[in-house]
Amino acid sequence: MAQKKIFAPKMGPKGQMTLPKEIRTALEMEEGDRLLLKIEDDGKVVLEKAIIIPASKKDEFGEATETWSFL
């Protein structure tokens, strides 16, 4: 079983945090990327890299998407 790693970034006065490099690397994050934060019923927060779909793309049903969408 893989060992879980725990990180405790400090929140600044504007509510900002720096994600540790190991997390940014694991999520393949680059400057300007967006994150999804989901709060589960048990109170856990799940962090995922957001996938942006440009408005110029059409979905599989041929309908135009919004300006951007999160998957």
For residue 52, the model assigns a pLDDT of 76
For residues 19 and 34, the answer to whether their CB atoms sit within 8 Å is no
- pLDDT per position as a tens digit, 8-53: 999 999 999 999 999 999 999 999 999 989 999 999 999 899 887 7
| pLDDT reading at 62 higher than 80 | no
Q: Quickly state the pLDDT bin for 70 (edges 50, 70, 90).
A: low
For residue 51, the model assigns a pLDDT of 82
For residues 64 and 58, the answer to whether their CB atoms sit within 8 Å is yes
CA separation for the pair 60, 50 (Å, rounded)? 19
Q: How confident is the model over 42-67, as a mean pLDDT?
A: 71
For residue 60, the model assigns a pLDDT of 56
CA separation for the pair 15, 54 (Å, rounded)? 28
